[in-house]
Chain A
Amino acid sequence: MKQHSLALKLSAGFGFVFLYAPIIALIIYSFNESKLVTVWGGWSLKWYAELFRNEQIMSAAWVSLKIAFISATLAAILGTLAGFVLSRMRRFRGKTMMAGWVTAPLVMPEVITGLSLLLLFVAMENMFGWPAGRGTTTIVIAHTTFCLAYVAVVVQSRLASMDETLEEAAMDLGAKPVSLFFLITLPMISPAILSGWLLSFTLSLDDLVIASFVSGPGNSTLPMVIFSKVRLGVTPEINALATLMILVVSVAVIAAIVIMRRQNRFQKP
């Protein structure tokens, strides 16, 4: 058994090195003085200064943050409803279909989702005149739809692992369904909703393919700007931007994990 576990540790260790080496290399190169990304020219914060002076990147970042905030909030509301329906409601006509619509977006190739939503928006504009043109609104709708699925899955699995007796007790004591939801269920699943919101926020902030399909001219999101720059090669400014984004996400994820661990007391024994 000893030998076996050494081999296991080595191969798992290799896996972790594989996961982190590129990210660490990227972070180190973001502090490189030299313009030639791969030649080391000493430590410097030069590219961070350049990054904040780049108006194209800054305005795209602002657009992306706005879209991510609105989409994540809408997705958290709709996804919580969907997750609640799927795990707390008895069978109804269309429940299986709804379960399918919730899980399918998780694996659907982005080019299909992007193309289909764009064609829908074009068809809607022809028929009802709304949405007039494409831009922030259409990106928000698209992002809300695929983020909703992630929130629903997180909330659903949280509800499935939770004890129903607390909710039953509240009903025994005369709580109306609406107050039951807001006073008992919602506080219990709030960590799941929060992590669903954070996940949606980062997914929306990161999406290139769907946004490229459904955005209009002059509405470039941050990933679209990054992609157009990166296509031509590695640039030191993007290294700096990547480092900042990785830093923010790491802090948020660690915070979310700590919150989730502290809230684990409602779980079924």
Chain B
Amino acid sequence: MMTPPATASVETSRPTLKQRLQRLSLGRWLVILIPMLWLAAFFFVPFLVVFKISLSEAMIAVPPYSPLLEWDPDSAFATLRVTFGNYLFLFESRFYLDAYLSSLRIAAVSTFFTLLIGFPIAYLIARSGPTSRTILLSLVILPFWTSFLLRVYAWMALLKKNGLVNDILMSVGLIDEPLQILQTDFAVYLGIVYTYLPFMILPLYTQLEKMDMSLVEAALDLGARPWRAFCLVTLPLAKPGIIAGCLLVFIPAVGEFVIPSLLGGSDTLMIGRVLWDEFFLNRDWPLASAVAIVMLIVLVGPIMFMRNGNKEAV
């Protein structure tokens, strides 16, 4: 981390690249505005629309919700019709509260197991030689690129009553008759851990790769047992990677729809699935919007936290 003083003084006396790019005005604003306007229009504004519709009432019409502003042709006045009924309904009904809590629980437990399985892999990759590192890293990235839907589907064939997992367990003699694994909460945990594992390994690896191994050696030389050295040296140094990995798994897992609907049972309650059903089956757009807004409020904390962590990492 030592910077030779000569280069430092050169840099201060000369405008930096960023300062020079600052000088062009029209082109600069064009470059900034194009992606900015796209994101504003198709990422930010939609949330405002969802919030607006969450304040209206469902009705049989096209589109199926009541307008917030209603023109009265006789008096030429517009009346604002806002209802918090959808939110009240969410909080009064035990069903939605349970769905939120069970989503948070499923996401948290899966995140923990993803960390437990991902950490040794990330550690091994970070500690291997350059060639095997590239190969192992590619082996982690490859499933990440492969279709998410098809990877979930692959588990359906394995976990079925007459699937491979039950066949193996029976032939080994661990069980006498096939277990019901598919359509249970366990299958959902398994599916989340499986599909999100690369999201955990990659940030962990980035952090562990930067780590100075001589610190662990020093701890061992000073008489610490390997486990103690791991807890006192490696874990604290890996913390930013652990946090980043956990957030990358936890946040999307809370709103997961594909995994609970393919691997879970009819009693597996997750809020992403509830939102989907409200929208597609009940066609209650305002209630689905309210479900989305509450989910967003629950997740906004972790999302902000992740962004701050990102800023520090850069």
What are 10 A-B contacts defined by CB distance under 8 Å?
A9-B124, A81-B34, A89-B21, A101-B43, A107-B247, A111-B275, A122-B63, A177-B21, A209-B257, A213-B279
Q: A22-B155, A81-B34 are in contact. Are A1 and B220 (CB under 8 A)?
A: yes
Q: Check if B306 sits within 8 Å of A119, measured CB to CB.
A: no
Report the Cα distance A1→B216, complex, angstroms: 11
Shortest CB distance A155–B (Å): 11
**Other-chain residue from B16, B32, B147, B306 in contact with A249 (beta carbon distance below 8 A):** B147
Contact (Cβ within 8 A) B50 A145: no
The stretch that binds B, out of A41-49, A51-59, A186-194, A222-230, is A222-230
Q: Is the CB of B123 within 8 A of A8?
A: yes
B292:A120 contact, CB within 8 angstroms: no
Cα(A168)–Cα(B31), bound, Å: 19
Nearest chain B CB to A79 CB, angstrom units = 7
Check A254 against B157 for contact (C-beta < 8 Å): no
Interface residues on A, range: 35 or more
Are A88 and B153 in touch, CB under 8 angstroms? no
Q: Report B118 CB to chain A, min CB distance, Å.
A: 7
Q: How far is the CA of A9 from the CA of B226 in the complex (A)?
A: 15
A134 to B145, CA, bound (A): 28
A253 to B195, CA, bound (A): 18
Chain A residues packing against B (C-beta within 8 Å): 1, 4, 8-9, 11-12, 14-16, 18-23, 25-26, 29, 37-38, 78-79, 81-82, 84-85, 88-90, 92, 94, 98-113, 115-117, 119-120, 122-123, 126, 141-142, 144-145, 148, 152, 160, 164, 167-168, 171, 177-178, 199, 202, 205-206, 208-209, 212-213, 223, 226-227, 230-231, 233-234, 238-239, 242, 245-246, 249-250, 252-254, 257, 261
* Bound Cα distance A145, B291 (Å): 22
Q: Is B49 an interface residue (CB 8 A)?
A: yes
Q: Min CB distance, B18 to chain A, in Å? A: 5
Task: Flag whether B141 is at the interface (Cβ < 8 A).
Answer: yes
Known: A223-B149, A242-B153, A242-B154. A257 touches B43 (CB 8 A): no
Tally of A-B residue pairs with Cβ under 8 A? 257
CB pair A25–B158 under 8 Å, yes or no, is yes
Give the Cβ gap from A23 to chain B, nearest Cβ, in Å.
6
Contact A1–B226 (Cβ < 8 Å): yes
Q: Which of B83-91, B92-100, B160-168, B235-243 contacts A (4 or more CB under 8 A)?
A: B160-168
Interface segment among B70-78, B169-177, B295-303: the answer is B295-303
Assign chain B's interface to a size class.
35 or more
- Do B43 and A145 touch across chains, with their CB atoms under 8 A apart? yes
Say yes or no for B258: interface residue by CB 8 A criterion: yes
Complex partner residue of B289 from A115, A152, A249, CB under 8 angstroms: A115
Q: Which of A8, A11, A90 contacts B22 (CB 8 A)?
A: A90
Which one of B38, B145, B280 lies within 8 Å of A78 (CB-CB)?
A: B38
Within 8 Å by CB of A81, from B31, B124, B252, B272, lies B31
Q: In the bound complex, do residue A171 and residue B63 qualify as a contact, i.e. CB atoms below 8 Å apart?
A: no
Contact among B16, B124, B142 for A8, CB-based, below 8 A: B124
**B35 in the interface, Cβ–Cβ < 8 Å?**
yes
User: Complex Cα distance A234/B139, Å?
Assistant: 26
Q: Does chain A have a CB within 8 A of B256?
A: yes
Q: What residues of B have a CB within 8 angstroms of the CB of A233 in the complex?
A: 156
Q: Are A148 and B35 in contact (CB under 8 A)?
A: yes
For B45, list chain A residues within 8 Å (CB): 120
Contact of B276 with A by CB under 8 A: yes
